[in-house]
Amino acid sequence: MASTKVVISGVTGKMGLEAVAAISKETDVELVGGTCRQDRGPTLSTPYSTVIPLSTDLDALLEQTQPQVMLDLTNAAVAMDAAAKAAARKINIIMGASGFSDDQLKQLDALANDNGIGIIVAPNFALGAIVLKKLAEQAAPYFDYVDIIESHHEAKIDSPSGFALNLMRSLGENKEFTRNQPEKENLANTRGGEYNGISVHSIRMPGKIAHHEVIFGAAGQTVSIRHDTLDRSCYMPGLLRCIRDVVSRPGLVIGLENVLGL
């Protein structure tokens, strides 16, 4: 059986390099190229002494390598342009970028259907984060108050995180939570962002990778559900599962839980 050929958009970022190492260990998935924003030369050395083409021109790289899958690990703005280029070549797409809008998700749905390809949007590749989401969804009907607190490293370009947005929408799509409004706010925005009564707070500082906590409140009690990413290696099993699934799963799939069937 031939291996699945993969190109990584954003291959020299932290997640990209982690993905390079993970894919290099597999026998049924082959990394055939990568793109980066700044020119770093024509090739990238990978583990096990292999070398792949490296380019700032995604179109040219896709033409050269003819992959079955493009894995995008950039940001939402860059990823949408990359998705259009890949879809035009009938290449399946996995998107790990953060913070897609509803309009962008509709565009991705159209790209998948119009081109007969699979597109997976995974705000979080970590299995533990998906378990957090499912537990929070089960708890939500029993509480009227909920806050979401997410923490990431200081270089993350958006807030809240794409996974926090995904979590927020899943909890608030069928319910309006209660959110108190203080009579006096001594410092603006200290109650965080708000969606259907859900308060969302973002922390950005060195030492963090990715951390999400959901706190439910009721009279005399609280319930907290938390997931901590301690190392980016935790993303790799979910990422590899997406690569293997997307080639046989046409249409748009949002969330790793829908890939795993949770």
Position 100 scores a pLDDT of 85
153 pLDDT exceeds 70?
yes
> In this predicted model, what pLDDT tens digit does every residue of 54-75 receive, in sequence order?
999 999 999 999 999 999 999 8
Position 261 scores a pLDDT of 86
149 pLDDT exceeds 70?
yes
Rg of the Cα atoms in the chain: 19
Among candidate residues 152, 201, 212, 227, the one labeled active-site is: 152
Q: Could you tell me the domains of the chain? A: 4-121+232-260 (3.40.50.720), 127-229 (3.30.360.10)
Report how far apart the first and last C-alpha atoms of the chain are (Å, whole number). 28
Would residue 90 show up in a list of annotated catalytic residues for this protein? no
What is the pTM (predicted TM-score) of this model?
A: 0.84
Among candidate residues 25, 85, 134, 156, the one labeled active-site is: 156
Position 154 scores a pLDDT of 95
Would residue 156 show up in a list of annotated catalytic residues for this protein? yes
